[in-house]
Amino acid sequence: MRGTVLITGGAGFIGSHLCERFLKEGFKVIALDSLLTGSLDNIAHLFEVEGFRFIRYDVTNFIYIKEEIDIVLHFACPASPQDYLKHPIHTMKVDSLGTLNTLGLAKAKGSRYLLASTSEVYGDPEVHPQPEDYWGKVNPIGPRSVYDEAKRFAEAMAMAYYREHGIDVRIARIFNTYGPRMRLDDGRVIPNFICQALRGEPLTVYGDGSQTRSFCYIDDLIEGIYRLATYEGLMGEVFNLGNPDEYTVKELAQLIINLTGSNSGIVYRPLPQDDPKRRRPDITKAMETLGWKPVIPLKEGLLKTIEYFRERLKGEALHSNSRL
């Protein structure tokens, strides 16, 4: 074994893929998850894998792990607007107390520490695309602030541990990511559109659909995170990880309708407060330092994701019929 990695949020969408990747690379993996938004279904296939251990645990509490830990990856946190608006205080506790507790563990164990931050720290940006040295435009008291500001605080906490205690901290600012293991009711735009299209329902677009997003397939993101976590000499560094290809929400809706073969139309609803108008990462730093850039085109990634959701919806229908 190459060492031991602790992954908080290990039963979540991104966390479960990280568990797989680090196991594949020869690491022991300890996954922590409260299962508030994560699911054991995401990691059930790993329970019999040598070197994998799951602990159901809320990281807002003190964390004690007996064995030595080489890398801590803090990925626990409700990440979709639907989830963090439903659990606003817990979201802030995970990004404050949870970050404090995981940093304390890294300090005690002498571990490298990778914080999962987000493109939301840039808010509704006035600089486009967004480089790592842009400070952002965030409403500190708006409804989204429970996530935006919590992540900004988590970054500040991580950097304080780096400066005061010399912890090997690195921060990943993750832009919109999609792929298998997202929940059907995740609430983010790609799961929403795919489920609506497969069910033959109208796709719900907020605003006029001209706002833009950049979508990174999960396999590409995991490669970037793995390189950032294992690369030597990046203490105190921040990296954007995402796909710089930019699409309007309306373009995405039409593409998903076409790829699913759906007859769904599009309905328009008012734009939520503080919803960013444009979002696109500047990944120059990741390309030059990590040698990383996304390689999976949106159409290819969406086809894989659509197939996953199609099977999940079939499974739900069968389960529902079996109860009748």
Active site residues per annotation: 147
Tokens coding 18: 């990280």
Q: How many other C-beta atoms are found inside a 10 Å radius of the C-beta of residue 251?
A: 15
Quote the distance between the C-alpha of residue 70 and its chain's center.
Answer: 22
Rounded to an integer, what distance in angstroms lies between the CA atom of residue 16 and that of residue 43?
Answer: 6
Rounded to an integer, what distance in angstroms lies between the CA atom of residue 259 and that of residue 45?
Answer: 29
Tokens coding 88: 């606003």
Rounded to an integer, what distance in angstroms lies between the CA atom of residue 313 and that of residue 221?
Answer: 25
Q: How many other C-beta atoms are found inside a 10 Å radius of the C-beta of residue 132?
A: 17
Q: How many other C-beta atoms are found inside a 10 Å radius of the C-beta of residue 186?
A: 20
Rounded to an integer, what distance in angstroms lies between the CA atom of residue 149 and that of residue 13?
Answer: 22
Close Cβ partners of 162 (under 8 Å, ≥ 6 residues apart): 168, 169, 235, 236
- How distant, in Å, are the alpha carbons of 95, 130, 152, 271, 276 from that of 136? 18, 9, 10, 20, 11
One-letter amino acid at 58 equals D
3-class secondary structure, 204: strand
